């Protein structure tokens, strides 16, 4: 296994490894790379859907996303796709997957299936680096706060996607989601403190109104998206990305209109998060 950094803030690229065969100590070594660096990109893979599922099960449990269409025949796999005729993509703003769940997902294993000739990169941002950059005074304030998360404004009727050309693709519009999490969490493996709010699903601080919450949330969103905390994943045929959802944000670039892009995503079960 060869490892090289994607940026100073987070991310590694891994080569000379085959995920279809990875297990035991070698799998543990890859997990360590993901936990310590937030995201690992593995090149030159030929994972079938069955191998994708089998690898995810060796990693841990699988959470089935209730909103994304599944790949026919493999309900564990969500398809993140955009057709040639569509203008809106999935995940086009900074977010953390499943923060609206009481036990958020650990992360995801995303496999490139169909790529546009150019564009469609994914940006990641380190919430450990973002937290580390805060003043001691703001850290002390945020350490005492909890925030309310929901996906209702995104997926329910009248929500964001209902007004776009993705509306017919998505499911689960009848579901209601709500969770309350500490604004600062500690990574269960590395112990690093992480900022845990995101523009996609965080509504307000617990006990605060949304109007009161927005100025501070807006500052944290601007901070977390600063370029020095980012890395960029340029997708290639055979690329797989595995990220730690607790430690990162991500954003899918929507710069390939007129071309089809299909990604297969398996969401990995997480553990309860704590301040």
What is the β-pairing status of strands 12-15 and 39-42? parallel
| H or E element at residue 42 | strand 39-42
Question: How far is Cα 80 from Cα 265, in angstroms, rounded to an integer?
Answer: 7
246 flagged as catalytic: no
97 flagged as catalytic: yes
What confidence score (pLDDT) does residue 69 get? 80
Domains and CATH numbers, the chain: 2-268 (3.60.130.10)
Nearest 5°: the CA angle 223, 63, 13 is 55
Structure tokens at 183: 């604004």
What confidence score (pLDDT) does residue 169 get? 84
| Beta bridge partners of residue 108, listed in sequence order | 243, 267
Sequence-ordered list of residues with C-beta below 8 angstroms from that of 242, at least 6 positions apart, any chain: 30, 34, 39, 40, 42, 107, 108, 109, 110
Name the active-site residue from 52, 149, 181, 265: 265
Name the active-site residue from 181, 246, 250, 264: 250
What confidence score (pLDDT) does residue 73 get? 84
pLDDT averaged per 10 residues in sequence order, the chain, 275 residues: 96 96 97 98 96 97 88 88 96 96 96 97 98 98 98 92 90 92 97 98 98 98 98 97 98 98 96 90
With CA atoms as reference, report the closest residue to 198 among 175, 177, 181. 181
What confidence score (pLDDT) does residue 134 get? 98
Q: What is the pLDDT of residues 13-58, one digit of tens each?
A: 999 999 999 999 999 999 999 999 999 999 999 999 999 999 999 9
Three-state secondary structure call for residue 85? coil
Sequence-ordered list of residues with C-beta below 8 angstroms from that of 27, at least 6 positions apart, any chain: 58, 59
Name the active-site residue from 52, 63, 97, 246: 97
Name the active-site residue from 52, 95, 181, 246: 95
- Contact at 8 Å (CB) between 121 and 127? no
Q: What is the pLDDT of residues 176-185, one digit of tens each?
A: 999 999 999 9
């Amino acid at each position: 296994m060869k490892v090289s950094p994607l940026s100073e803030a987070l991310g590694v690229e891994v080569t000379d490894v085959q995920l279809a065969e990875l297990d035991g100590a070698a799998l543990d070594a890859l997990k360590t790379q993901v936990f310590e660096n937030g995201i690992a990109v593995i090149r030159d893979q030929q994972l079938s859907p069955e191998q994708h599922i089998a690898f995810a099960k060796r990693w841990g449990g699988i959470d089935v996303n209730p909103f994304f269409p599944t790949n026919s025949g493999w309900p564990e796999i969500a398809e993140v796709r955009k057709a040639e005729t569509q203008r809106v993509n999935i995940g086009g703003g900074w977010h953390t997957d499943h923060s609206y769940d009481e036990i958020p997902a650990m992360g995801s294993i995303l496999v490139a299936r169909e790529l546009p000739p150019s564009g469609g990169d994914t940006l990641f941002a380190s919430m450990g680096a973002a937290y580390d950059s805060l003043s001691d005074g703001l850290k002390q304030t945020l350490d005492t706060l909890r925030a309310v998360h929901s996906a209702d404004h995104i997926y329910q009727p009248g929500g964001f996607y209902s007004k776009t050309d993705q509306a017919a693709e998505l499911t689960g519009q009848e579901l209601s989601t709500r969770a309350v999490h500490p604004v600062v969490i500690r990574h269960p493996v590395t112990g690093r403190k992480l900022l845990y709010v995101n523009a996609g699903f965080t509504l307000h601080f617990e006990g605060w109104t949304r109007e009161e919450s927005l100025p501070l949330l807006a500052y944290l969103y601007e901070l977390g998206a600063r370029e020095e905390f980012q890395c960029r994943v340029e997708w290639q045929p055979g690329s797989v990305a595995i990220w730690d959802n607790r430690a990162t944000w991500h954003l899918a670039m929507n710069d390939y209109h007129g071309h089809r892009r299909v990604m297969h995503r398996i969401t990995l079960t997480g553990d309860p998060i704590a301040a």
